[in-house]
Amino acid sequence: MRNPLRKRYIRELRRDFGKYLAISLFMIMLVGLVSGYLVAADSIEKTFYEGWEKYNIEDGHITFSQTPPKEVLQEIENAANLTFYNLEYQEEDIGANGAKLRIFQTRTEVDRSCLMEGNMPAAENEIALDRMFAENNNINIGDTITLNGNVIKVTGYVALVDYNCLFEKNTDMMFNAQLFGVAEMTPEGYAAINSKLVSANYAWKYTESVSDEKDESNRSEELMKTLEKVLRSYNENLVKAEMEAAYENGLDPSTIEFNEEDLLMVESYVPKYQNKAVTFCMDDMKGDKPTFILFDYIVTVILAFVFAVNISSSIQNEAGVIGTLRASGFSRGELVRHYLFMPTLVTIIAALIGNVLGYTIFVEYMKGVFYNSFSLATYESVFNSEAFLITTVVPLVIMTAINLYMLIRKMKLSPIRFLRRDLAKKKKRRAVLLNKKMPFLTRFRLRILFQNISAYITLAFGIMFGGLIAIFGFMFGPLLVDYADLIVSEKICDYQYVLINQVETSAEGAEKYCIGSLEISLEGYLTDEISIYGIEENASYITKSIPEGKVFVSEGIMKKYGLKKGDTLTLQDSYNDKKYEFVVADSYPYSAALAIFMNRDEYNETFDKKDDYFTGYFSNKEITDIASDDIVSVITESDLTKLSDQMMQSVGSFMKLFKYFGAIMLSLLMYLMTKQVIEKNAQSIAMTKILGFKDKEIAGLYLVMTGIVVFLSILITIPVTDITLRWLFEGYLYTQMSGYLPYIVSKSCYVYTALITAVCFVLVSACMFIKIGRIRKSEALKNVE
């Protein structure tokens, strides 16, 4: 005979349909989101690594200061056992927003492109643009763009395997797919662009494939050494030849000033495993994955506690029945299984539906999020057994373990204890003493709190976690706006000119400056590029005068690396390992980049430059008397804020998700736990009705107490969130990302979250007020021993 208790499940489901529906929908959403994310991430990862082979990705690339002679390349190839491939590129500004396009010839050997839409360029005046860049700049297939005066037709969208993340430079903190993009043209078309910014860029592939990252790292170090050796020899020969030529021409070789620009130098050396344009996407996904999984588990634990509180309340209400069943011969195990059935069923159903939605709807959403951020090749969703394990098996285990533990503890009591409704683990000697001077209603509310403490604790934790998620979702928008404002308010000038040639200007207010870059590489942090500014003494664009022999350090560096006044900051030149030490005079408010500021004459001395050397001009007005051929770039506000713009674009969708999820979680828990308290106290409420209390007064007792718990929880959430987010920034973000993002939580985030909580509470209270009204007075007369 089948156990007749089974018939209760459907009836229980029907009776408490709202509760089960709410929990199920929430779990479905949770599983769907996490499963969608994991499936999309896993599918992308699979396609990503397959793409390395399919498109023959480079093992790294080197940008030389000028095109190296063939014999130099050959010497390196032979010594390092690799092959170079010419991936020279030109860069041109495009459009009014200052977006920069890096143009390559159509790649045929390494780093081949994936055509996403349209056709590859076939004619001289045709170009295929990176999909993301084109979409961000509203450039459609068939549109035309102008590159160095040439009108070019866009024939298709591509994804380049070595630019799935559109980092302009490897040391950039964040990429900006709106202001930087890549493109391919036919060799003829490429030649016709005739840009003045041409980079002698070469990709390399080792003859023998690398076995792992360690091998890759070792080989990269070997290559660095080979490069240094070959280039030093080449440059020495160059200098020697020039001196010999001078000697032959009857000149004194010691008086010859050799032009550094004639030397063959490495401008950029990026092995694949360090190339953010290649690795950032996967690193980002791999970083997000544990967050999503942890998020899944924490929410499941909270939901498991919701069920545990609910079951605990059912056991209390049905104590007499349980006692009778136990006395009649039902075993503990049978009853444990009976009460465990519903949470298990809800979890299984929600996990299955969630997985179906994860594979169909949410995966598309997540795919959209990834495609909005990364320039990825096309991919197919693949079944992910790990996602199934994480979203179905583990939550089921969590749900079962927590409820099983609670049920085993509860069911340990003897049948007689159930029959006597004596379910307290410890005998209470007496009720908690409350001060008699306290108003009666306050004491009544406190009794409600004590009686329902487990429900209120679950509610408080749920609100804190939901609040944390919501605040996290709310904070990024204002943070990026505030960060952009900070960058703009702290900018050095309106126009920062970087010149090719040192030309003079008569522009009013223009001040010369030098700029270079070094790296900081400390254990536990990623390598950061630090801009080194050489500033005129008493410069008007820097608000404080820099003490001799010392430097001002931007606040980002100070905070990220925990520096103080008087500390010594050691930086190094990444290409020759030369180290430089700087004494910190003070911090300087500059948030656009990690930078240090020193006097120009000290800069020139430190970096062996001539006394009158400078890189460009600071100016608050546009300089008109410098020919455009002499200008490398002009840095304006939009260049400075591109980091925050891109972050907004790439993380915005995720943040929206967090916001909504947090809000839904707050409402759900408030609804479930308040309902729980009301249902548990139905008899007491009925009794107070019999005594003459009005529904409004009863609501004042039960809902006000819930309101106080909600208010206190959200109040605690603020410092808890602050501590957690600070920890996340300092412990995670600063060590896992290069660059610096200040920790700014706008007060509006807390206000929004508090407002959402208040709105949820009002809605839930309205529902519960109706519920209180529906409790019949006869409820009080139900059989209670």
Partner 1 sequence: MFIEISNLKKHFGEGESRVEVLKGIDIEIEKGEICVLLGPSGSGKSTLLNIIGGIDDADDGYIAIDGEKTANMNEKGLTQYRRKHLGYVFQMYNLIPNLNIRENIEVGAYLSDHPLDTEELLHTLGLFEHRHKLPSQLSGGQQQRCSIGRAIVKNPDILLCDEPTGALDYNTSKEILKLLEDINKKYGNTIIMVTHNDAIRNMADRVVTLRDGKVRRNYKNENKLSAEELDW
Q: Are 617 and 539 in contact (CB under 8 A)?
A: no
Stretch that binds partner 1, among 11-19, 237-245, 358-366, 433-441 (CB under 8 A): 11-19
Size of the site for partner 1 (CB under 8 A): 29
Tell me phi and psi for residue 2, to 5 degrees: -75, 145
Which is closer to partner 1, CB of 330 or CB of 607? 330
Which is closer to partner 1, CB of 430 or CB of 436? 430
Helix (H, G, I), strand (E, B) or coil at 404: helix
Nearest distance from C-beta of residue 424 to partner 1, angstroms: 16
| Best CA proximity match to 169, nearest among 484, 496, 531 | 531
What does 637-650 look like in DSSP terms, one character per residue? HHHHTHHHHHHHHH
Closest CB 333 distance from partner 1, rounded Å: 9
Q: Given the complex with partner 1, which of 327 and 755 has the nearer CB atom?
A: 327
Nearer to partner 1, 594 or 686 (CB): 686
- Residues 417-436 close enough to bind partner 1 by CB under 8 A: 419
In 425-496, where does DSSP find H-type helix?
Answer: 440-451, 453-489
Q: Shortest Cβ distance from residue 430 to partner 1 (Å)? A: 13
Structure tokens at 713: 């929880």
Choosing from 95, 253, 287, 415, the residue that interacts with partner 1 (CB under 8 A) is 415
Residue 198 engages partner 1 in binding (rule: CB under 8 A): no
User: How far apart are alpha carbons 753 and 466 in whole angstroms?
Assistant: 9
Closest approach of partner 1 to the CB of residue 327, in Å: 4
Is 446 among the residues that bind partner 1 (CB under 8 A)? no
Joined tokens for residue 41: 């991430």
Nearest CB to partner 1, comparing residues 330 and 525: 330
Binding segment (CB under 8 A) for partner 1, from list 3-11, 432-440, 553-561, 624-632: 3-11
| Per-residue mark of binding to partner 1, 307-336 (x: CB under 8 A) | -----------x-xx-xxxxxxxxxx----
Tell me the C-alpha distance between 300 and 71, whole Å: 63
Dihedral Cα 283, 285, 289, 292, nearest 10 deg? 130
DSSP-assigned states of every residue in 676-703: HHHHHTHHHHHHHHHHT--HHHHHHHHH
Q: Which is nearer to partner 1, 414 or 521 (CB)?
A: 414
Q: Which one, 311 or 357, has the nearer CB to partner 1?
A: 311
Smallest CA-to-CA distance from 705 within 456, 436, 463, 466 is with 456
- Note the Cα 518 to chain centre separation in Å: 26
Of 47-55, 374-382, 410-418, 589-597: span binding partner 1 (CB under 8 A): 410-418
If the CB atoms of residues 578 and 776 are measured against partner 1, the closer one turns out to be 776
When asked if residue 416 is in the footprint of partner 1 (CB under 8 A), the reply is yes
The b-or-e profile of 138-175 (16+ CB within 10 A means b, else e) is ebeeeeebebbebebebbbbbbbbbbbbbbbebbbbbb
- Sequence-distant (≥ 6) Cβ neighbours of residue 630 within 8 angstroms: 499, 500, 501, 503
Q: Which of 4, 142, 692, 719 binds partner 1 (CB under 8 A)?
A: 4
Least CB distance to partner 1 at residue 375 (A): 58
Query: Smallest distance from the beta carbon of 330 to partner 1, in angstroms?
Result: 7
Q: Which residues within the stretch 204-233 sit at the binding site for partner 1 (CB under 8 A)?
A: none
Residue 414 interacts with partner 1 (CB under 8 A)?
yes
How big is the CA angle at 608 (ends 606 and 614), to the nearest 5 degrees?
90
Please name the residues in contact with 275: beta carbons below 8 A apart, sequence gap of 6 or more: 60, 61, 162, 170
Residue closer to partner 1 by CB (options 682, 710) is 682
Segment lying near partner 1 (by CB under 8 A), choices 1-9, 127-135, 206-214, 523-531: 1-9
CB 367 → partner 1: shortest distance, Å?
45
Choose between 318 and 519: whose C-beta lies nearer to partner 1: 318
CB nearer to partner 1: pick between 6 and 621:
6
Task: Find the binder of partner 1 among 15, 169, 544, 579 (CB under 8 A).
Answer: 15
Closer to partner 1 by Cβ: residue 251 or 327: 327
d(CA 349, CA 593): 50
Ramachandran area for residue 255 (φ above 0: left; ψ -120 to 50: alpha; else beta): alpha
Q: In whole angstroms, how close is the CB of 416 to partner 1 at the nearest point? A: 5
- How many DSSP H helices and E strands does the chain contain? 23, 20
Q: Is 12 in the site for partner 1 (CB under 8 A)?
A: yes
Residues contributing to the site for partner 1 (CB under 8 A): 1-5, 7-8, 11-12, 15, 318, 320-321, 323-332, 414-416, 419, 783, 785
